[in-house]
Structures are given as C-alpha cells and as structure tokens.
Structure 1
C-alpha cells in the first residue's frame, strides 16, 4: 500500500486487484512480471472508463483520494478464466509475439471497497508469487522510464509487483497531460531494475516519486521501496 501525503481515508477503503497468470508449466520471469504489473496499472489509469463519466471513474476517484492500495494475486487454468470474465484489462508482457502469446499476463481490475472484492478474486492466493529471471537482463534503452527497486529490501515477487505498480502510478500523477500521451503511445514502455546502493542514494536526492510503504506486509512501515525515474520528471 502506498500513502499519498495529505489524504484522509474515506469511510470505505478501496483496493485495486492485480492477478498474474501462473500456470504449472509456465511461470513468469521476475522482471517481466514486475514490468507488466506496472504497465497494467498505467493501462487502467489511462483507460477512458476511468475518466470523466466513465463506468469506473467514481471508483477510481474514491480509491485515489485515499491510499492507492493494490493487492496482487495469482491464478491458473479455470481460476484465470473466471478472472478474465470479470470487468478489467489484461496486459501482456513486452515479449508478446504477433499472435498475442506471452510468458506473462496480468489482469487489472477497477478498485472496489475492501468488502466488495468479487469472490472469484478473493479466493485466489496471494502467496506463491516468487519468480526468477531466466537470464541476465539487457541494458535499458536510453530515455526509457525505469522503476528502481531498493536494494536493501527483501520482497516477494507479489509484493514487488504491487510496489512497482505504486511507483508507476505516482509517476503518472506527476506527469503533464502531454507526457502521459507520449507514454501511452509507447504502450507504457518501462524497465524495472534493482538499484545499486550508491545509485539508490543518489536517486533519493533528485526529487523523483518515491513509494513509501505502509508496512502492513513483509517490510517495515515507512520503507521506501521503489523510485520512479521517468526522464520527464528529472529536475
């Protein structure tokens, strides 16, 4: 959970659910899962149903006016098919082929009050989302937004997915409308990397969006988890 400064919790606390597809013989790679989760959050923020008088707009406003709480769950087989039947957006990893096949799929659902999460989602497990990268990560292309993970924290893949979603969300809120459109045009291209201790300390000094976790799971309250380094936010 990320906390936006100066906001008070409403009577109903809202939560946005992300579901990652984890089949028995097809586990996602760690970094691709983190990047796809972040892109899924951006996709629902940018969706026309989330703005104005759109069908998700009221819920999105209620959610963003308090804690931008996100929960990551996992599904496979029939569980995944039931999740896909619910209103939401499925985002595939950047490695998706022309026929749409991808090693990573994440479905994001519009926020709802905590006591109104659909049963087909609440039944899905939160644990078990510990992934690994199958090979060395490539160099990040110049001008690509990077979500830098704190090297001093130990987080499960599911926790890290939520934190990267928070970081992408904070970056989106900080960008101008023109910059948002540019990012949308790239299908929200971004990279996730773990910072070196030296880079992390340097990034903390330049005014970029930083996720500060409430500490309800896995890590201590107030932990700074991810920094969103978007080129258009550097001062």
Structure 2
C-alpha cells in the first residue's frame, strides 16, 4: 500500500477546490466528495497539465514534486460564476458541482478564491448510499472512525484519486481514464478489510482537523 508524499515545500503550494453550496439547495456530503476527486484527476490528465508543453504543466509538476496539499472552499451566488473564470476543471454530477484549480503558492491565491470561505463547509449526507457506477471507476472510502467536515473529506478524496492516478496498475489506470475517470464514494464497505486490499492510502499531514499520520482515505480501481 502506498501513501501520500510528505516532503517539505516552502512556500507551500496547494490545489484549490471550490464546491458550490447554495443556501436553498445544498448538496449532500458524499455528493461533493465524488466530483471533487474527479475534478482533481481530470485536471491532471487534461492536456494543458499532462503535456510537457501545456500551459499548466510547469505549475502542476512543481506542486506534485512536493506535498499534494489541497484546500476546499465553498461558493454560492455570484461567487460561483466568478470562480469559473479562473483556470481549472469543473465536474457537475449528482447535484453537486466542484471546480479544481491549477495549483499555486498559498501566498498567491487569486482574489476570486481568497475571499471564499474555507471553514464551514460541513453538509449532511444522503440517508442511503448511492450504488456504484458501471466499471471502470475508482472506489474511495473515507475512514468512518475519523470525523471530517465536507471540505476536509473532499480534499482527502481528491488525494486518494490523485494517488490512484499516479501509483495504481497502469492497465487499470488506462481503463479508468478511458471510462471517464468516474469516482464512487464507497460508504457501505467493511473499512478494516478494505484497508488490507486498497491500492493507496492517504495519511494526513495534520494541518487541520485530524492528528498527523491519520489514515483518512483509501482507494482502489474497479475494472470489472
């Protein structure tokens, strides 16, 4: 099992994630985590990031060479279309919209994002877990023994998807990409048994909400 990179980064860089959460109709907790994870990997596989000549490549490469830090913010009203104007990738599914932005220094967050709230994105979950999609897809499970806000859980889901993209079996990754990089948040799985079988595990650096070294999420790719 592989874990996330904890190498130093000074000044720290982060990928900003923004979830749309309107007061009148907020999305469910797990519904945010899935598109957050998908947005991360779709940005990383976008030619603008994946191609060495792409306009995002240098920034993405610098960020991935250090800690894969992510910050989740929330937007509502006019703030959401304002954020859409910045470079990134948006995923809209199951009533939730999340945009992943090209990474950069945390000291240079664009004003359109800096004014968006980081704390406070903590949503209720659906009563019934959603069934998985048809394979191929990435299954991500969040540690049921570690309480996390929606913002934290979305970032951890993004970490797990990114580690799968970079570290899982190449044939499985290729099938996942070909299938559209779908992500399923597995809520009804036996956590301890899945930990033994997971391809990647995310261990948190401990900057927010949980102690350092906490295993927050695991992931694996389902192809059949």
Which segment drifts farther, 135-144 or 153-162? 135-144
- Alpha-carbon distance in 1 for matches of 2:28, 2:211: 26
Match of 1:221 in 2: 212
Match of 2:85 in 1: 85
- Alpha-carbon distance in 2 for matches of 1:82, 1:227: 33
- Alpha-carbon distance in 1 for matches of 2:119, 2:10: 28
In structure 2, do the counterparts of structure 1 residues 146 and 124 end up closer, same or farther at CA, with 3 Å as the change threshold?
same
In structure 2, do the counterparts of structure 1 residues 188 and 207 end up closer, same or farther at CA, with 3 Å as the change threshold?
closer
- Which residue of the other structure, out of 103, 112, 117, is the alignment partner of 2:109? 117
- Alpha-carbon distance in 2 for matches of 1:122, 1:141: 35
- Alpha-carbon distance in 1 for matches of 2:10, 2:33: 31
The one-character-per-residue Cα deviations of 1:132-190 (angstroms, maximum 9, x if unpaired) are 23441233356443101111100001100000000001111113554333212322122
In structure 2, do the counterparts of structure 1 residues 227 and 195 end up closer, same or farther at CA, with 3 Å as the change threshold?
farther
Match of 2:147 in 1: 154
- Alpha-carbon distance in 2 for matches of 1:141, 1:109: 26
Quote how far apart the aligned CAs of 1:58 are: 0.7
Unaligned runs of 5+ in 2: none
Q: How does 1:39-54 map to 2 (within 5 A)?
A: 39-51=38-50, 52-54=52-54
Match of 1:29 in 2: 28
- Which residue of the other structure, out of 81, 100, 115, is the alignment partner of 1:108? 100
- Which residue of the other structure, out of 182, 191, 202, is the alignment partner of 2:193? 202
Q: CA RMSD in A?
A: 1.9
Unaligned runs of 5+ in 1: 96-102
Match of 1:61 in 2: 61
- Alpha-carbon distance in 1 for matches of 2:188, 2:159: 17
Aligned residues: 219
- Alpha-carbon distance in 2 for matches of 1:138, 1:195: 9
In structure 2, do the counterparts of structure 1 residues 138 and 10 end up closer, same or farther at CA, with 3 Å as the change threshold?
closer
- Alpha-carbon distance in 2 for matches of 1:43, 1:212: 22
In structure 2, do the counterparts of structure 1 residues 22 and 4 end up closer, same or farther at CA, with 3 Å as the change threshold?
same
- The two structures have a TM-score, normalised by structure 2, of 0.90
- Alpha-carbon distance in 2 for matches of 1:180, 1:229: 10
Quote how far apart the aligned CAs of 1:211 are: 0.2
- Alpha-carbon distance in 1 for matches of 2:198, 2:22: 40
- Alpha-carbon distance in 1 for matches of 2:36, 2:188: 19
- Describe the SS at the equivalent of 1:77: coil
In structure 2, do the counterparts of structure 1 residues 22 and 141 end up closer, same or farther at CA, with 3 Å as the change threshold?
closer
